[in-house]
């Protein structure tokens, strides 16, 4: 083929077709390239956006407290209105008003003696054990008291597996970087900034061993200086921790009482002497007869007011010298015959309980009968009395001779029950 023929071929319509195909191919390559690059750019932009979101969330998280609930209480404290407390009330009026309120408002019936024992017990200890048969109104009494004070009680259902303080206070979760704030911790924190009486109900407290999960509380409540009763919540301090959580610790407030309900049956643990010695005990074994009241009312008083009324009773009334003399005779007799002694703690409790009970409208001998039966004579149960029934009957004779025939009904009932059960 000569040069002229080749040139003719190149100038033929075939050349136009080839040119068009090449141009189209180039355009397709360019379009595809642009689309690919745009897709890559979009993915890259998305990744940048996600990284920015993660960075923003991390920054926010860094500024969120590990104590969400307690920080919320700090905010609420700024606008809180303090309770309008009633000041012109004495202990006798308090007992009668509470009994009437429980009856009229909640259809709960308690004898005036039970109410006096309850109020006087609050003056002695921050731990009250409400024990007796199921269905006699133990939890209801503690619940009603919170309603009566216009500061509802906090119910903490004790769990069988509880063994340590974290079961009550909560724990720090390393994964979430937050503290698991229990209801009790929140109430302890709230009580620190208020003057109300706070009631915490440890429902079925002996379904687990009280001296295990409640050990730290028992120890702290023994410290005379309230300012030193500090619970360690965490071992360190963060700048954004709640205001009243100082150095990872919160004060166990003096305006909080722990009311534990206890059933004595095969499904529960025996309450140890360590707990009994520090607590006041209220036996609710039978339901009281229904009655009616014409009127009833709530009566919110501050914790300071309750303590001042108790202190006034101790100072102005004191322990009756005749009653104290008989108490010393009981102490001597029990020490010589059963090696049971009162001890300083119980003597201090008696010195408060008797005058406060009288200020509540009762008699000091009734108060002595109550506290001796629950705090002293119960120690006979730890001794082997199987072969000492005669000795126990002599103890009954001793009480009858010292106080009058069948005068100390609770003490005599405790002695006879122990004699029956060995």
The answer to whether 358 and 119 have CB atoms below 8 angstroms apart is no
What is the pairing mode between strands 198-203 and 256-262? parallel
Distance CA 154, CA 187 (A): 8
Distance CA 329, CA 300 (A): 41
**160 inside domain:** yes
What local confidence, expressed as pLDDT, does residue 241 receive? 94
| Same domain, yes or no: 357 and 263 | no
Distance CA 350, CA 342 (A): 10
- What is the CATH classification number for the domain harbouring 155? 3.40.50.300
Last-in-domain residue among 232, 267, 283: 283
| Same domain, yes or no: 108 and 208 | yes
Strand partners, 256: 198
For 108-159, the DSSP string reads ----HHHHHHHHHHHHH-SEEEEESSTTSSHHHHHHHHHHHTTSPPEEEE--
Q: Could you tell me the two tokens for 125?
A: 């200890």
Give the dihedral of Cα atoms 258, 261, 265, 266; nearest 10 deg.
Answer: -50
| Same domain, yes or no: 275 and 351 | no
Distance CA 262, CA 248 (A): 32
Q: How many CB atoms lie under 10 A from the CB of residue 405?
A: 10
Series of mean pLDDT values for 10-residue runs along the chain (422 residues): 50 66 72 64 54 48 78 94 93 98 96 97 97 86 97 96 94 92 97 97 95 95 95 92 95 98 82 93 88 95 97 98 96 92 92 98 98 92 70 94 96 91 69
**For residue 393, what are the domain limits?**
317-421
What local confidence, expressed as pLDDT, does residue 59 receive? 41
Distance CA 376, CA 356 (A): 19
**Is 125 buried (19+), middle (13-18) or exposed (0-12) by CB count in 10 A?**
buried
**108 inside domain:** yes
| Same domain, yes or no: 211 and 89 | yes
| Same domain, yes or no: 81 and 185 | yes
**Is 16 buried (19+), middle (13-18) or exposed (0-12) by CB count in 10 A?**
exposed
What local confidence, expressed as pLDDT, does residue 96 receive? 98
Strand partners, 173: 178
Helix (H) or strand (E) holding 262: strand 256-262
**Is 280 buried (19+), middle (13-18) or exposed (0-12) by CB count in 10 A?**
buried
Last-in-domain residue among 239, 262, 283: 283
Distance CA 168, CA 159 (A): 10
The answer to whether 410 and 114 have CB atoms below 8 angstroms apart is no
**45 inside domain:** no
Sorted by sequence, the CB contacts under 8 Å of residue 250 that are 6+ apart come out as 185, 188, 189, 192, 230, 231, 233, 244
What local confidence, expressed as pLDDT, does residue 136 receive? 80
| Same domain, yes or no: 193 and 331 | no
Tokens 């077709």 belong to 17
**162 inside domain:** yes
Sign of CA dihedral 77, 78, 79, 83: positive
Closest alpha carbon to 102 in 143, 131, 51: 143
Number of domains the chain is built from: 2
| Same domain, yes or no: 325 and 273 | no
**1 inside domain:** no
| Same domain, yes or no: 265 and 323 | no
What local confidence, expressed as pLDDT, does residue 56 receive? 43
Q: Which residues of 139-176 are buried (b: 16+ CB within 10 A; e: fewer)?
A: bbbbbbbbbbbbbebbbbebeeebeebebbbbebeeee
**3 inside domain:** no
| Same domain, yes or no: 218 and 268 | yes
What local confidence, expressed as pLDDT, does residue 40 receive? 63
| Same domain, yes or no: 367 and 276 | no
Sorted by sequence, the CB contacts under 8 Å of residue 179 that are 6+ apart come out as 66, 67, 170, 171, 172, 173, 233, 234
**51 inside domain:** no
Last-in-domain residue among 283, 307, 330: 283
**255 inside domain:** yes
| Same domain, yes or no: 355 and 253 | no
């Amino acid at each position: 083929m000569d040069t002229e023929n080749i040139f003719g071929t190149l100038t033929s319509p075939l050349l136009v077709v080839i040119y068009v195909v090449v141009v189209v191919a180039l355009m397709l390559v360019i379009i595809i390239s642009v689309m690919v690059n745009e897709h890559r750019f979009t993915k890259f932009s998305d990744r940048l956006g996600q990284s920015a979101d993660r960075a923003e969330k991390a920054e926010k998280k860094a500024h969120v407290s590990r104590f969400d609930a307690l920080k919320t209480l700090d905010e609420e404290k700024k606008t809180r209105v303090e309770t309008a407390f009633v000041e012109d009330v004495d202990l006798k009026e308090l007992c009668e008003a509470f009994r009437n309120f429980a009856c009229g408002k909640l259809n709960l019936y308690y004898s005036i003696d039970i109410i006096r024992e309850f109020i006087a017990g609050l003056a002695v200890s921050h731990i009250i054990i409400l024990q007796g048969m199921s269905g006699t109104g133990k939890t209801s009494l503690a619940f009603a008291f919170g309603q009566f004070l216009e500061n509802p009680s906090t119910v903490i259902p004790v769990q069988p597996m509880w063994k340590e303080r974290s079961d009550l206070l909560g724990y720090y979760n390393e994964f979430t970087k937050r503290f698991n704030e229990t209801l009790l911790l929140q109430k302890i924190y709230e009580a620190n900034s208020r003057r109300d009486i706070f009631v915490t109900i440890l429902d079925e407290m002996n379904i687990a061993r009280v001296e295990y999960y409640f050990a730290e509380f028992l120890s702290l409540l023994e410290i005379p200086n309230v300012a030193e009763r500090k619970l360690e919540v965490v071992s360190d301090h963060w700048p954004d921790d709640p205001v009243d959580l100082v150095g990872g610790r919160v004060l166990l407030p003096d305006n909080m009482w722990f009311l534990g309900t206890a059933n004595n049956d095969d499904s529960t643990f025996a309450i140890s002497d360590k707990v009994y010695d520090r607590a006041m005990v209220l036996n609710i074994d039978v339901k009281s007869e229904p009655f009616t009241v014409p009127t009833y009312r709530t009566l919110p008083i501050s914790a300071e007011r309750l303590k001042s009324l108790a202190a006034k009773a101790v100072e102005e009334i004191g322990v009756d010298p005749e009653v104290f003399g008989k108490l010393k005779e009981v102490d001597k007799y029990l020490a010589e015959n059963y090696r049971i002694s009162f001890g300083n703690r119980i003597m201090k409790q008696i010195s408060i309980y008797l005058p406060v009970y009288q200020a509540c409208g009762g008699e000091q001998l009734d108060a002595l009968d109550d506290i001796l039966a629950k705090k002293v004579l119960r120690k006979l149960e730890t001794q082997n009395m199987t072969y000492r029934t005669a000795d126990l009957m002599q103890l009954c004779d001793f009480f009858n001779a010292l106080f009058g025939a069948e005068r100390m009904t609770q003490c005599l009932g405790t002695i006879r029950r122990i004699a029956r059960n060995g």
